[in-house]
Structure 1
Amino acid sequence: MVAVPADQATDRARRSRLSPEREGELYEAVVELLGKVGYDALTMDAIAARTRSSKATLYRQWGSKPTLVASALRHVKPMSPQEIDTGSLRGDLHRLLRATDEEMERDAALLRGLARAAHDFPDLQQALRELLIQPEICALEVLLRRAVARGEVAPDCPALGYVPHMLCGAFISRPLIEGALPDNAYLSAYIDAVILPALGA
């Protein structure tokens, strides 16, 4: 029998106080509030009131507002790149795009707001990197490694390390440059015109 480290056992015990259903409801409420008021104005008091929770429960479960926000954003993502395997890199990227299409407008607005907030709140930036960004990058790397294994992308392609940057840029740059949201048609064209050529796929 493998012993569970004390810190992991404590974390499991702390997080097991809420059911998965209750945790999911809370995450949805946090993201909804975040979209309405922004990170700066979002308070643990407001989250507690909205979710009919106590602040003590929120702090016991997540420890801080940045951790709760990053965990909520991670939870509401419809699909991870690691879950997609259509047999081709182009198919994988377009499938990932379709998975996020329903929440495109909300996600784009949240991303812009969080980019500004992360600049002002280093603790939020750290939480987003640890709980949201790094897991997504690792999942995307799995998708890209499969493309390399299939021979679609050269293993030494210099653009491989910049795919996350290109994807983020698609969401952030269009509103700034064109004053328009990055809708499905735009992102689909962006994948075909920018990301795939950069990878030589």
Structure 2
Amino acid sequence: MPSPGSAQESAPTSRRSKITPERAQELYTAVLDLLRESGYDSLTMEGVASRTRCGKSTLYRQWGTKPELVVAALHGTRRTLFSDIDTGSLSGDLHEVARVVDAASGQDTALMHALSHAALQNPDLLCAMRSTLIEPAIAAFDAMVGRAVRRGEIDADNPAAEYVAAQMLGIMRARPLLEGRYTDHTFLTRFIECAVLPALGLPTPPPASRRSGT
């Protein structure tokens, strides 16, 4: 006869068996959309059920609680915006980041804001945010800097190099708080050229290049 502990450990496996991967993706997408629209506190299992035409009992049977569902949605839709960027120069990489951020500001930035406060109250949610949204972005920026060092663009001991990720991610988070607006292409480009590149000792593109996008 299994012990109570082993029964609890096996319960998640048995309850997570009736939703197809395709249906799970639909549910995860709906969860993240609702988070962006209304925030974490307003998200309910009832709302997800209504948006997805799914029985509320199915959601509870599959995930148990709202935090578990949100964590599953974050892991199930994990993607990195910056990992494929490699233009051949650090300046080019960072400018491409500005373009990508501008295109995704209504998605990932809104999601980060929707979850930030709630994550401080929920360790599992905070861990999921870090592993699915924050750590991949940090790794991508660190990879850009590492390539720049190997190409000889910046010195390995440049003291500003270790803060590139913090600068970039920090300004994306700070602008909505300071100005009530997401970080768009123009703002982030100016930040890169006025703060990030000078700290690294890299030249900024001439005005003509900025206008042409090269």
Q: Same fold (TM over 0.5)?
A: yes
Does residue 119 in structure 1 map to residue 123 in structure 2? no
Write the letter of the residue equivalent to 1:193: C
Q: Which residue of 1 aligns with 2:175?
A: 174
Deviations 1:138-188 (A, max 9, x none): 222222211111111211222222222211221232233334432211111
CA distance in 2 between counterparts of 1:194 and 1:131 reads 27
CA distance in 1 between counterparts of 2:122 and 2:77 reads 17
CA distance in 2 between counterparts of 1:42 and 1:165 reads 30
* 8 Å contact from structure 1 (residues 71, 132) kept in 2: no
Q: 1:190 to 1:57 in 2, by over 3 A?
A: farther
CA distance in 2 between counterparts of 1:135 and 1:144 reads 14
Q: Which residue of 1 aligns with 2:9?
A: none
* 1:23-172 equivalent positions in 2, closer than 5 A: 23-53=24-54, 54-55=58-59, 58-59=62-63, 64-71=68-75, 74-75=78-79, 80-172=81-173
Write the letter of the residue equivalent to 1:198: A
Deviations 1:119-141 (A, max 9, x none): 23232111111232122222222
Query: Relative to total residues, which structure has the larger helix share, 1 or 2?
Result: 1
* 8 Å contact from structure 2 (residues 94, 192) kept in 1: yes
Q: Which residue of 2 aligns with 1:193?
A: 194
Q: 1:69 to 1:195 in 2, by over 3 A?
A: farther
Q: Which residue of 2 aligns with 1:18?
A: 20
How many angstroms does 1:89 deviate by? 0.8
Write the letter of the residue equivalent to 1:55: L
Deviations 1:69-108 (A, max 9, x none): 4336634xxx532211111111111112212322324443
* 8 Å contact from structure 1 (residues 137, 164) kept in 2: yes
CA distance in 1 between counterparts of 2:132 and 2:114 reads 18
CA distance in 2 between counterparts of 1:22 and 1:100 reads 28
Tell which structure's C-alpha radius of gyration is larger: 2
Q: Which residue of 2 aligns with 1:6?
A: none
Q: 1:160 to 1:51 in 2, by over 3 A?
A: farther
- Show structure 1 runs of 5+ residues with no match: 1-10
Q: 1:35 to 1:154 in 2, by over 3 A?
A: same
Q: SS of the counterpart of 1:171?
A: helix
Q: Higher mean Cα deviation, 184-193 or 114-123? A: 114-123
Q: 1:57 to 1:93 in 2, by over 3 A?
A: farther
* 8 Å contact from structure 1 (residues 31, 72) kept in 2: no
* 8 Å contact from structure 2 (residues 109, 172) kept in 1: yes
TM-score normalised by length of structure 2: 0.71
* 8 Å contact from structure 1 (residues 29, 47) kept in 2: yes
* 8 Å contact from structure 1 (residues 66, 123) kept in 2: no
CA distance in 2 between counterparts of 1:134 and 1:94 reads 20
* 8 Å contact from structure 1 (residues 174, 180) kept in 2: yes
How many angstroms does 1:33 deviate by? 0.3
